[in-house]
Amino acid sequence: MHKSGVPTVGTELGREILMQLGTLQLYGMDPQLTPMERGLVKYSLLMDKSGLMDAHMRFMKQFGELERDWQLTKDAAAVSKGSGVEARPPVRKKAVEGMRAIRLVELKVGKRNHGRVLYATICADTFFLSLIQTLVEDDEGHAARVMIDDATLDGSASWAKAQRRYPKGAKVAIKAPFLSDLPDESIALYVNSEEDLVVLSDSSPYVAEVDPWEGVDVASLRAEGNRLFSKGDWPGAIEFYTKCIQKATSSNQRKIPGSKNKKRGHSESNGLTSNGKVSTETVMLAYSNRAAAWMKLSHYERALADAGEALHLDPQHLKSIYRKGCALHQMQQFEQARDCFAMALEHAPEKEIKLAHERSSVCDQQSRLGVYDIHKYLLDDYDGSTPPEYSDYVGPVEIKLMEGKGKRGLFVTRDVEVGELLLVSNALAVVHAEGRRMFTSSGRSNATLRDELVFKLSNLVLKSSKWLQQMCNLADCDCHGNGKVPSLELFRPNSKWNSSKDDVPLARIKGVVLQNALGESGSCARALVAGQQPPMRQFLGLWPLPSFINHSCASNSFRLHVGDTLFLHASRPIEAGEEVTLAYVNTLLPRQMRHDLLDKDSWEFKCNCSRCELETNLCAPLKQVSRRFQSLWGYKESVTPGQAESFKMAKLALNLEHILKNVGLYLYEIQLIRASFFIMYWIGYLNLDRLGDLAKRLPLPENLIDAMTTATPGDPMSLFFAGFWLKKFQEQGANGAVIDDAQKRAMHICRCIYGKQKSEVLKRLVKAHDVTINV
């Protein structure tokens, strides 16, 4: 134990806490800890090298695949050169004279130690996320995580660059060392200027590597590519197919200067023809296999280019035709993909090709007609664990410039009915919370999840110029896609887009995520049908076209998530030219709480929709009810019938009814306010017995359902509520008209959520929301 009483380096206590709680805290995964435990864990994590290494390695592994791929793309030039070896930059040697050394255990959280220097060794591989991250160990064996804000490694940086700059084993001196509490609730040495981290010596001297594959024949290079491919090492395979192609091209050019041999030649075992040239077949197969490897890495544009090269050399090569089809399909060029598979089927009527042909044909139809059979997935015995594939669809909508709200919005081009499909969009990227909390204790969305999404996206935009352009057009904190209106063709399947040399720095991707990422909504199709109440599946993702939809607390559309595909249905009739709006947060709450939620979720705007305006105007009469509601909100006791707090809530609903009658409002306005305090009424129903005669003053449940539908049609909570009352009426043997009426209400909400469906399907959907609400 250190004399300050804080457990230090790998002490038994520190280790024990680590064992019990894992290293979750380090990367912002926030187990329920008391402040005391939190302090201990933070400190033991700070100093325990093995625990730190463990967490660091796990984090690196998580991103390993993506990074390798990213690095491969970024360093494509180096890969194609073959050696992949780059000179390390000269070691930066700067004197740290006149500064007194300080040890890790002497550092206090939040205190910058000016004039002091911490000598340490980089003991783990360095990597680059939004900040450079690595571990250092001081001379006494204490270790700490370091976050370096190095502006010279901008958004285009990769791990390779970060590792060259801060190599493992290097001796470093950290000036004015500063232990900081990071936003993800972990602790680290924070270096906010690269000047403050001085690399004193690079312990692993750079040795120029000699490429051992120099002089190896093309067939062996391709065989090595195949070996790596079969092991699942796609980047490795690509490297060798590339070596093979380059060697073949240069040796053939040497044989016949200025000419390309495109005729199929007889192949010897070393990949050469009898006249000493590399056989066309060897090169064609290298291209075709490289296309397959690019596919594995989701580099569909590169895969398409390579399959095209292979077919240029052998137009009949079945695998290349098939691979071309697969790449086109992934790029949502469904019509061309279908034609490719049809051509492949002429050569070989294989099952796999037939299925691919069918998939492309279905997606092509979906993208043109906007007809999707999601009810099959929702209601019928669906045997796959992942949902079927759905194509993107752009319905009767357009992006237009507008006043305010970030200058752009989505508008309908014609009158639209309730339940009409407005668009379907597949996520550019999604990250799942998987047991982690979506929100930190302060209510902000989990920064680690956001970082993961940023990382996935930064990797993705390198793979396709379409995805890159979609990203470039989205708003970030400072710029709203340059205030331009992108062509809808960029979001429509089967359309062409121009290749782009745009670059999106990491900082911009972060801004785009902050402004556009959609999170947990309680609107995941299957979970809804299973009757689970929100929150259900927890995720954060980015959907390109839906990113143009602005928020309203009285929205007119609903987003349904089927796997990673977002379906947007109209939840009210929308007139031609009207703006499409979505509720970004739970809107069955009073205005101030809705605004607080928007704030906490990092949306930096205040909603001033008509519903917010109404509540602002009624601020004075509603003030007391709102205050008391907020103070009772969130207590378990408030929703437990029989508890004093629950009864207070129920009485508050009666108070509100009294106010609403006296202020002199239209029914429509009364409904909006009731929806804002929906939970209060619900608790009123929970306390019917205790309210006695007063209960008559509560609106009927069907009025409350109508109120919810008026304010925010298609809210899943209203469906659960409507489903519950329907079941209750049926159990009580209510008369046919009452049951019919309740059924119609529930079916209407189902239509807002699941879209236009046959009445039989809607009835089955209503029945599937068979939840037990303890009323």
Ligand X SMILES: C[S@@+](CC[C@H](N)C(=O)[O-])C[C@H]1O[C@@H](n2cnc3c(N)ncnc32)[C@H](O)[C@@H]1O
Per-residue interface string for the shown chain with ligand X, residues 508-537, x marking contact by CB under 6 A: -------xx---------------------
Structure tokens at 399: 């992006």
Check residue 541 for interaction with ligand X (CB under 6 A): no
- CA–CA separation, 298 vs 73, rounded Å? 12
Tally Cβ neighbours within 10 Å of residue 120: 27
Check residue 723 for interaction with ligand X (CB under 6 A): no
Which one, 482 or 499, has the nearer CB to ligand X? 482
- CA–CA separation, 686 vs 698, rounded Å? 12
Tell me the closest approach of the beta carbon of residue 606 to ligand X, in angstroms: 7
Decide: residue 87, CB within 10 A, 0-12 exposed, 13-18 middle, 19+ buried: exposed
Angle (CA) 307 311 316, round 5°: 125
- CA–CA separation, 627 vs 636, rounded Å? 18
Tell me the closest approach of the beta carbon of residue 575 to ligand X, in angstroms: 19
Check residue 601 for interaction with ligand X (CB under 6 A): no
Tell me the closest approach of the beta carbon of residue 432 to ligand X, in angstroms: 21
Check residue 481 for interaction with ligand X (CB under 6 A): yes
**Three-class SS state of 118:** strand
Length of the chain, please?
A: 775
Q: Torsions phi, psi of 422, nearest 5?
A: -95, -40
| H or E element in which residue 684 lies | helix 678-686
Which one, 451 or 476, has the nearer CB to ligand X? 476
| Nearest CA-CA partner of 131 in 82, 171, 189, 73 | 189
Interface segment toward ligand X; rule CB under 6 A; list 75-83, 296-304, 545-553, 557-565: 545-553
Tell me the closest approach of the beta carbon of residue 775 to ligand X, in angstroms: 34
Tell me the CA distances in angstroms from 406 to 401, 488, 534, 617, one per residue in order: 9, 19, 30, 25
- CA–CA separation, 178 vs 109, rounded Å? 7
Check residue 551 for interaction with ligand X (CB under 6 A): yes
The owner of tokens 């160990």 is: 137
| Nearest CA-CA partner of 704 in 660, 647, 735, 662 | 660
Check residue 603 for interaction with ligand X (CB under 6 A): yes
Which one, 489 or 613, has the nearer CB to ligand X? 613
Check residue 600 for interaction with ligand X (CB under 6 A): no
Which one, 232 or 404, has the nearer CB to ligand X? 404
Number of residues engaging ligand X in binding (CB under 6 A): 18
Which one, 492 or 551, has the nearer CB to ligand X? 551
Check residue 550 for interaction with ligand X (CB under 6 A): yes
Check residue 168 for interaction with ligand X (CB under 6 A): no
DSSP classification of residue 268: -
Tell me the closest approach of the beta carbon of residue 517 to ligand X, in angstroms: 9
Q: Torsions phi, psi of 604, nearest 5?
A: -95, 60
Which one, 477 or 527, has the nearer CB to ligand X? 477
Q: How far is CA 38 from the centre of its chain?
A: 28
Per-residue interface string for the shown chain with ligand X, residues 407-426, x marking contact by CB under 6 A: xxx-----------------
Which one, 475 or 625, has the nearer CB to ligand X? 475
Tally Cβ neighbours within 10 Å of residue 96: 15
Interface segment toward ligand X; rule CB under 6 A; list 313-321, 550-558, 656-664, 714-722: 550-558
Check residue 548 for interaction with ligand X (CB under 6 A): yes
Interface segment toward ligand X; rule CB under 6 A; list 61-69, 154-162, 249-257, 405-413: 405-413
Check residue 555 for interaction with ligand X (CB under 6 A): no
Residues of this chain that bind ligand X (CB under 6 A):
405-409, 475, 480-481, 515-516, 547-548, 550-552, 603, 605, 607
